[in-house]
Amino acid sequence: MTHAKTKVFLDYDQEELDRAYNQRIWASNADEVIGRYGAESAAVRARLRFMADLAYGGTEDEVLDLFPTARSSAPIHVFIHGGAWRLLSKNESCFAAPTFVEAGAHFVALNFANIPQVRLPGMVAQVRRAIAWLYRNAGNLGGDPDRIYISGHSSGAHLAAAALITDWPSQFGLPADLLKGGLCASGMYDLAPVMLSARGAYLKISALEEDALSPARQLHMVHCPVIVAYGENESPEFRRQALSFARSLDQISRLEDLVVCRGLNHFEVIETLGVPDSPLARAALRQMGLRQQVTRPLA
């Protein structure tokens, strides 16, 4: 006699849902690719001039590295790393800097505390504080406060999307349209299934926090064009989340582009941001109006 499986979310039982939110099951080379993030970032730091550990907050984790371009009053691109909200730092997050610096934009590798040092609401708050700090200090850094763009990968895409739904006027006294564009790659935008998966055991957020921190439920707060990207070989839930988020953005005329990275898994997708002629990098540069504007970096 066969027993019907107990559905936890959509047609998933618990084991299937846990698998759908564990990208390592779907990418046998995960450790190798993550290792490349660090190695390529170290190579970039050795080659390009940068301002290290600029403090945007009061804790040791609230710092960022800025890689300046040669252009004055340049747009600023802020990269928010992934790592399941638990791993990585700015030190593995500057491999894509040359793509932007050589095209005429400042590149920021953002650092913030990971779980369990901070809870998810605190992590989102740190990302928002960093962006507000960059807006207020852009002029002193040679940047244009009216041209700040963000990108994020995996859990960093969730954090980027959370930044896109920020109420900048009420929380920081800043313009509602502070952010001029966003790129969300391989992320999670509704936390309901995430909380039902094994990830819920360490996220530990309340129902109210889940609602407030699910960007897909707060799209009326998005004031800029958004690029959504995902890898063809990602888990089914990450593909579904990306497509659902893109459709919802399209319905309110906020979707700029949907980039499907053919033949790539979850971890490989963001590497292509460091390849200037890749679909992902081209979309990001096009969003910033930099597709045909090239300057030499300061090395």
Query: What would the pLDDT profile of 102-123 be if each residue is shown by its tens digit?
Result: 999 999 999 999 999 999 999 9
The yes-or-no verdict on residue 76 having pLDDT over 60 is yes
pLDDT in tens, 216-247: 999 999 999 999 999 999 999 999 999 999 99
Mean pLDDT of 41-61: 98
The predicted pLDDT at position 295 comes to 41
Which residue, among 155, 154, 157, 179, has the nearest Cα to 166 in the 3D structure?
A: 179
Distance of CA 109 to CAs 11, 85, 131, 261, 282, Å? 38, 16, 12, 23, 19
CB atoms within 10 A of CB 262: 9
pTM comes to 0.95
Domains, the chain: 14-287 (3.40.50.1820)
* Dihedral of the alpha carbons of 124, 129, 132, 136, in degrees to the nearest 10: -170
Query: Does the structure show a pLDDT above 80 at 42?
Result: yes
Instruction: State the average pLDDT over residues 188-195.
Output: 98
Tell me how far CA of residue 251 lies from CA of 219, 244, 256, 275, in angstroms: 10, 11, 12, 31
List helix spans (H) across 60-112.
Answer: 97-101
What local confidence, expressed as pLDDT, does residue 178 receive? 98
